[in-house]
Chain A
Amino acid sequence: KAGVTQTPRYLIKTRGQQVTLSCSPISGHRSVSWYQQTPGQGLQFLFEYFSETQRNKGNFPGRFSGRQFSNSRSEMNVSTLELGDSALYLCASSTTNEKLFFGSGTQLSVL
């Protein structure tokens, strides 16, 4: 059974640009959550999507957005990138009442 797949693995952008990250959950998983990991702030919850609807949202500015498609694949978008957005972005998927499985992450560097 394939795991959670995140693309791309690495990304380099400059300030002011926007970026889109992709996450394909484990087959049959309808919940996709996104996390940001930085050395200073640790692991922080961004948002969760379930059946194409945002179910939970963390405390991030509106520049961070996401969506989920009918096949449960999810994308997150960050607009007007700032240096502080440099981080490892992790996606996790799960089924109802089951534990979360994390992908390998996308390492975003903003120059």
Chain B
Amino acid sequence: ELKVEQNPLFLSMQEGKNYTIYCNYSTTSDRLYWYRQDPGKSLESLFVLLSNGAVKQEGRLMASLDTKARLSTLHITAAVHDLSATYFCAVQRGSNTGKLIFGQGTTLQVKP
């Protein structure tokens, strides 16, 4: 059974600091997603990572994938308050399926 684990589950940080969220998964996967969710809102797609060594960056967020270690990271650079949200990683086995297995989510709180 595919399991996805994130850590930490809660992260409180000061503006301007850097930090990394980790996402481990238990079996091989075809795609790894990172989503952002604001309270009471839906999931916003941030990154889709397809292959080993993939790295994608958008603003202060950078995601990477190591399929051999079954590990993805979401790195936050010089955090700002607007990044406060819950971040989920999700794994998809098979590219032609709508079934994603989600991690527990990491709630990020950025303090001014």
Q: A: which residues have CB within 8 A of B?
A: 31-33, 35, 42-45, 48, 50, 55-56, 58, 90, 92-94, 96-97, 99-105, 107
Residue of B nearest to A34 (CB): B98
The stretch that binds A, out of B14-22, B57-65, B67-75, B100-108, is B100-108
Tell me if A42 and B48 are in contact (CB < 8 A). no
Q: B: which residues have CB within 8 A of A?
A: 31, 33, 35, 40-45, 48, 88, 90, 95-105
The CA of A92 and the CA of B44, in the complex, are separated in Å by 11
Given A103-B42, A104-B41, A42:B105 Cβ within 8 A: yes
Given A102-B42, A103-B42, A104-B42, A92:B96 Cβ within 8 A: no
The CA of A102 and the CA of B99, in the complex, are separated in Å by 13
The CA of A94 and the CA of B95, in the complex, are separated in Å by 11
Residues of B within 8 A of A50 (CB): 98
- What are 15 sample pairs from A and B whose C-beta atoms fall under 8 A apart? A43-B102, A45-B99, A45-B101, A48-B99, A55-B98, A56-B98, A56-B99, A90-B43, A94-B98, A99-B33, A100-B98, A102-B43, A102-B44, A103-B42, A104-B42
The CA of A99 and the CA of B98, in the complex, are separated in Å by 9
Tell me if A92 and B105 are in contact (CB < 8 A). no
Residue of A nearest to B104 (CB): A42
Tell me if A33 and B98 are in contact (CB < 8 A). yes
Given A90-B42, A101-B45, A42:B97 Cβ within 8 A: no
